[in-house]
Amino acid sequence: MFLRWSYVRFLFGLRHMGANWQVGDGREQALADYVCAHARRNDIDDVIRAIDEFCYTKSYLINIGDEKGRILDRAVLAARPRRLLELGTYCGYSALRIARVMPADAVLYSIEFNPANAAVARRIWDHAGIGERVIVIVGTLGDDGKTLTALRDKHEFTSGSLDFAFLDHVKQEYLPDLHRILNQDWLHPGSVVVADNVKYPGAPEYRAFMHHHEGAGWHTREHRTHAEYQKVLKDLVLESIYGG
């Protein structure tokens, strides 16, 4: 019952979420406080456990969650990527899951629109002991080239250098941002792109693109699952392999 009320409060905050990518009631900062108080320092597994516990028992949050998180885990393990890009850091939960299973020499670059979310994520990552393996960049790929330029010039994204991308930001930007990545020529044959929330709240244009290009540049597997932290709303996670 508590979770349902937390979700109702989340729904009331959707307008604020759409503009600021925070619910507006302080739950993101409360999450960081909870993690630092209830999870062992430098224990990534315990930090993930504490976040899931907070989301089930305290306040609903829009990270990928434990059920879909296991799909993401398996995709990263199978790809064994060295350079990864995440669009939509939020509070840093999916980055924790990725960092836990990516190779020891891999680096994850995470793009976040809201500086306050980036600060929450950094605090949680530092508590988990992965602060040096994940780099958060405040911006968007659609900010007139500023973030794309930073990735290219400062972080040395080059042709064919991106092994794995995870999309979990503004759903209407999934397809435009995929095209931005393709236009930079960063993917290589075998690169993997995973997209969350394709059914709920939905990214129909992105899904249609992958259907249209199935076998002709992309091979996509659709994982049927549930929206985060509940078993009522259905969702899809798309795992797409780039063919070049």
Q: Which residues are catalytic?
A: 168, 171, 196-197, 228
Q: Report the distance separating Cα 20 and Cα 188, nearest Å.
A: 33
Q: Report the distance separating Cα 130 and Cα 122, nearest Å.
A: 9
Nearest Cα to Cα of residue 38 among 8, 58, 63, 11 = 58
Helix, strand, or coil here: 189?
A: strand
State the DSSP code for 91: T
Q: Report the distance separating Cα 137 and Cα 118, nearest Å.
A: 8
Alpha carbon of residue 14 to chain centroid: 19
Give the pairing type, strands 83-87 and 162-167. parallel
- For 114-120, which contacts have Cβ atoms below 8 Å and span 24 or more sequence positions? 114/20, 114/21, 114/22, 114/138, 116/22, 116/28, 116/29, 117/21, 117/22, 117/28, 117/89, 117/90, 117/91, 118/89, 120/28, 120/29, 120/31, 120/32, 120/91, 120/92
What is the token pair recorded at 158? 């080059």
The amino acid at 243: G
